[in-house]
Structure 1
């Protein structure tokens, strides 16, 4: 049993995943009433708020304002990603490897359908980057400092290529969330990195709020 499984009960995990999924889609704090409408089991808003309190104590959610709902922390995104990636096994790695054989088409679809930036890390440089126009329609980028932060994040990805290569030592795909990235600008960013047949790295980068489920589904089923 992992640490995450020991920390979180089945009910807490179910509510946490619903909260993360809702925040990914709306970018707004999630209220307890919303969870009661989505969860399969019968729970009152008061019961959900008690779970929110437990999750907050454990570092999975936070409350930006006293009267608002909750938003996920980086720890919550890691729990969420581990929950969905584990169900696919090697299927995700095999699908990504196949799609990389038509990189231009893959990048175009990532930009248009997922609103993410993608490119190739090769020989210490970022090559063939695509998708900025679509990504910058997300509400977070209405603030200029977020645009600057993301630009610096991408610049530093190329400088830390060896770090991402090391994370891929035992697999072909890895999802690196927030401060797991080795750069100061990564607080609100995530990147999906995969190993190409020529040992260069293909990356898909965006906000930490990126739709991980849709990304995985896109790679496997599209």
Structure 2
């Protein structure tokens, strides 16, 4: 068995999800892909040998072996890829932006624990890195819904309930109110459905775009 890192590439950073045997171990952050240039790019996709090591500075962490054109690529704690990484991979418990995350040391401890479990069964442990494939609707619905979109989903359910109550009211209502209730119900249903199938990376990307648009709009 081996670990599998599924990446999502963005111009300002690379987010990932680290899996083992079908279970999510943690998320990851890396530099953006810049043609494997030393110190400014994440490493290429591929299958690499993983080894555990310890240093006075970092404590226990992991190192990737046999990389094309790169060396000393580690998996170690960090919270901001652009300011803290030079090609290494940082585990995080939760993504907070493109190339950013939180609770990295906790994620590192969890990863090391998983690594030791894998190593007991296999003399050699590998990490396969690849691009995250597009998820179908069923896989999307099974993924955790980001916090912001949970709120939107709740709002959609409330609006749908209001619209449904108006449409099923036992009293006669003006045609305009009935029409409005119909639009409200349809819109709420769409909002709920979209929120349910939005996954974390897309949520972060949407927030980044919103933040940039607000910055441009500011005087």
Structure whose residues are more often strand by fraction:
2
Q: Which has the larger radius of gyration?
A: 2
The verdict on a shared fold, with TM-score over 0.5 as the criterion, is no
Structure whose residues are more often helix by fraction:
1
TM-score of the pair, normalised by structure 1:
0.25
TM-score of the pair, normalised by structure 2:
0.25
